[in-house]
Amino acid sequence: MKYYLVKITLLIFVSAFMVSCTNARFKSNQPNIILIMPDDAGYGDYACLGSPIIKTPVVDAFKEKSLLLTQFHVSPKCAPTRAALLSGRHEFKNGVTHTVFERERMSLETFTLSDMLRSAGYATGIFGKWHLGDEEAYLPEKRGFDEVYIHGGGGIGQTFTGSCGDAPNNSNINPALWHNGTWEKATGYCTDLFFDQATKWMDEQRRAGKPFFAYLPLNAPHGPFVLPYEYYQQYLGHPKLNDNLAKFYGMLENIDTNFGQLLTQLEEWGIANNTMVIFMGSDNGGTKGVPIYNAGMREGKGSPYQGGTRVPCFFRWPDGGIPEGIETDALSAHLDIFPTFAEIVGAELSPQVMQQVEGRSLLPILQNPQSEWADRTLIHHFGNWAQGNASKSKYRRSAIQNSQFSLVNNTELYEIKPDVGENNNVFEKHPEVVAELRAIYDQWWDDVQSYLINENLIGPKINPMKESYWKQFGGGPDEKMLKLMDPNSAIKISQEIADRNEANWARKKALNAKTIH
């Protein structure tokens, strides 16, 4: 056990050291970087990965021109994934343990991916969903982004207690969007608007001769399922789809269409070869599409099983030597994006930032998918416990995995590759594996406690994004809205949400057990 822990520590140190070294070959020709991440899609929601219904011709073609990481993991829910992606460390170490109740706010001590790229000379832009804090100090323009074009809260039109909420009465169609510090009332469908603004901004940067990082964390196909009829009519009437599923697939197909237009634009600009494009299939496991096709995995969003965290991740960068039409099953994660970008752009990281970053650079396997890739452990935790219940939630909906095994909820052990659906619990057969993974997990849990800085916060009485909207356009909250935003109800509501989550979880487990037997 001691040897194993020393080995892991050494690997992290070596990875951080590699990131700190300036790579002259890349820095002299820094690539543009585009990262696209839909919200609430799943591994099985793309035609090229097995979906029997959806049509995603652009992603299908992109697969043939890129390297696909088939064992790439994110967090079980959306705000946590965004925090881990932008920091290179587990979301809990950024204080993010939920999607609401002030617990979605990314620690102000976090040095972000956008901070790092901007320090390396990049223009940085975000287009879509932020969901890491709506109060002024937490907004993306204060976290390293030059260009900001987003909605508020965790979803368009949402309202929660305290700090998390969007503009009042907002919609996917003709939304109000936060653009560099002010609200703009836009005309069109949200995904189209995010891609259009990103494309316009990228054109400005390439004309100025400045490398850019365009981050498109889209809100689609997250609910509400509102989009133009012509975008989903082709799925209506399908015997396996209700109206919401038809809209869900329509939202995904629209992303595919916009993605294709963006790739075409890169070609027309003559910058496609030196632009690294990453298409990360989702910010968590699948949702609406899980009953249709889930790539053989168990459960989806919110789950510690593979279906809750495993998503496809495609990398394309012709000038960077990334091979085309190849797959790798190297165990990888959103934590790895930060150090990967840092090594590629030649960023010089301070000792403090090097200590922050837990991931490892993917560059070795991006350039040679057959290169040696040392085994590692990844920790998944649903979080979302009721207010004040962190100490009771150590193993609740948690998992620690390496490339061979996953220890789930501290009571279930699965051999991941031969048992993709995690149906055969081998906990009793491998006590040494259980002990090894449990010891690493227990140490991690102890380590993260001091980082849980948002657990007992009371938010503002009015959602900050709504407040700024009313200041700009007039109006204000009625009694119903004031009640919805009231931070004093956070404890009660968080308990209700936790209870509802547990009930849904129990139903899914019972259904899965019935299916197995």
The 3-class secondary structure across 443-500, one letter per residue, is HHHHHHHHHCCCCCCCCCCCCHHHHHHHHHHCCCCCHHHHHHHCHHHHHHHHHHHHHH
pLDDT of res. 2? 37
Please, which residues bridge with residue 147 across strands? Answer: 125
Helix (H) or strand (E) holding 431: helix 431-448
pLDDT of res. 494? 80
- At 20, is the secondary structure helix, strand, or coil? helix
Dihedral sign computed on CA atoms, order 78, 82, 290, 310: negative
Of 51, 106, 22, 462, the residue nearest 290 (C-alpha):
51
* DSSP assigned state of 381: E
Per-residue b or e along 180-195, where b marks 16 or more CB atoms closer than 10 Å to that residue's CB: eeebeebeebbbbbbb
3-state helix, strand, coil in the chain (%, to 5): 40, 15, 45
Asked if omega into 76 is within 30° of 0 (cis), the reply is no
Q: What is the C-alpha to C-alpha distance for residues 183 and 404, in angstroms, rounded to an integer? A: 48
Radius of gyration of the chain (CA): 22
Low-confidence ranges of the chain (pLDDT < 70): 1-28, 505, 508-517
pLDDT of res. 219? 98
Task: Please enumerate in sequence order all residues whose Cβ is within 8 A of that of 242, keeping only pairs 6 or more positions apart, or say none.
Answer: none
Three-state SS across 264-333? Answer: HHHHHHCCCCCEEEEEECCCCCCCCCCCCCCCCCCCCCCCCCHHHHEEEEEEECHHHCCCCCEEECCCEE
Give Cα separations from 23 to 30, 123, 129, 284, 373 (angstroms).
10, 20, 32, 32, 20
Q: Please tell me whether the overall predicted TM-score, pTM, comes out greater than 0.95 for this model.
A: no
Of 380, 238, 236, 362, the residue nearest 305 (C-alpha):
380
Cα distance between the two ends of the chain:
36
